[in-house]
Structures are given as structure tokens and as C-alpha cells.
């Protein structure tokens, strides 16, 4: 009985602070998504964003860096500010704009994708999945980028992310 009351209180508390606190999803890295999404992976691998970590190394894009007032000879791969937009998790161990930078940390929604072939969008969204929209991109495509000029979601979506392949269901 006491256990049950404690459980109810926990649920109430968690509901108040929001559903995201019910679980902690971890980043798993693009290789884990690759095993089920080979086509998206291959297409993504050819995008500029997949290689965005490289831009932080000295000698990369020297002209653009100098023009933006940065030191083209400096190694920015340990600069927390730069890492925030050039990695998935703000750390060099998850370099570049990988799947989860746009689709959300995957450890929990991946389990749904693995086990329930008929899952609905709401099922994975409840586990941290993100169907990327303009706001997702603007986490990085904003005036805090030393190179920001403008961002048009409609054109950028097809140009920058990965090729899109037919899915089993519509949203």
C-alpha cells in the first residue's frame, strides 16, 4: 500500500516537471542508426554537415575564418562554444551534425523502432524523438554562428540534411 502511494506521488511529481524528466535518453551515434537506415546514412555522409567538426581544425576554411575575425591557425576543437554547434553533444567524441543533432538523443526511441514495427509517431516522440522542423535547425543556424547570414528552412531542408526516402506511413 505504502509503495503504491509512493509510486503515485512519484508519477504526480514527474508529471509536474514534464514528461522529458521521466527518462534520460543518451546519444548513441550515427553508426547505430545506420544498421536500419542505410540509405539515409549514406546520403547524410555526403553532406557538409556530417563533416562539420573538421571545420574547427587549424588550416580549414582559412579565408572564411579570417574574414569572420577568427584565428585561422588556431585549433578550435576544444572550444566549448564552437563544439556546441559542430558536434551532437558539445563534445569531440560525437563529431559533426549527426542524426541525433536533428532527430533527438536515440537510446530510448531506438528501442521502440527495434521492437514495435507498428509504432506511431507519438510513441517515439514520447521517447525523445524529434521530427525536425525549422526550430531544430535554428539551434545552430542563428546569429551566434560567426558565419551566419540568413537561413531559409524550405530550401535548406532539401539541400542540407540527407535525401528523403518513402516511409511506411504519412504524418
Is residue 28 within 8 Å of 101, Cβ to Cβ? Answer: no
- Is 85 a residue that touches ligand HEC (CB under 6 A)? yes
Q: Which stretch binds ligand HEC (CB under 6 A): 4-12, 13-21, 102-110?
A: 102-110
- The grid coordinates listed for 159 are 539541400
Number of residues that bind ligand HEC (CB under 6 A): 62
For residue 99, state whether it binds ligand HEC (rule: CB under 6 A).
yes
Q: Which residues bind ligand HEC (CB under 6 A)?
A: 28, 30, 32-33, 35-37, 40-41, 44, 48-49, 52, 55-56, 61, 64-65, 70, 76, 79, 81-82, 84-86, 97-103, 106, 110, 113-114, 121, 131-132, 136-137, 139-142, 144-148, 156-157, 159-162, 164-165, 167-169
Amino acid at each position: 500500500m505504502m509503495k503504491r502511494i509512493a509510486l503515485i506521488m512519484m508519477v504526480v511529481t514527474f508529471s509536474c516537471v514534464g514528461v522529458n524528466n521521466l527518462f534520460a535518453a543518451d546519444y548513441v551515434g550515427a553508426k547505430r542508426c545506420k544498421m536500419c537506415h542505410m540509405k539515409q546514412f549514406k546520403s547524410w555522409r555526403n553532406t557538409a554537415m556530417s563533416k562539420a567538426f573538421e571545420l574547427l581544425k587549424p588550416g580549414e576554411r582559412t579565408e572564411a575564418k579570417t574574414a569572420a575575425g577568427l584565428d585561422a591557425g588556431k585549433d578550435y576543437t576544444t572550444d566549448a562554444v564552437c563544439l556546441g554547434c559542430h558536434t551532437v553533444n558539445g563534445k569531440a567524441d560525437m563529431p559533426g551534425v549527426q542524426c541525433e543533432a536533428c532527430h533527438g538523443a536515440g537510446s530510448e526511441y531506438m528501442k521502440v523502432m527495434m521492437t514495435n514495427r507498428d509504432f506511431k509517431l507519438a510513441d517515439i516522440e514520447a521517447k525523445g524523438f524529434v521530427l525536425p522542423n525549422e526550430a531544430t535547425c535554428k539551434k545552430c543556424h542563428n546569429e551566434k554562428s560567426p558565419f551566419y547570414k540568413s537561413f531559409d528552412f524550405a530550401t535548406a531542408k532539401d539541400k542540407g540534411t540527407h535525401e528523403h526516402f518513402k516511409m511506411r506511413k504519412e504524418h
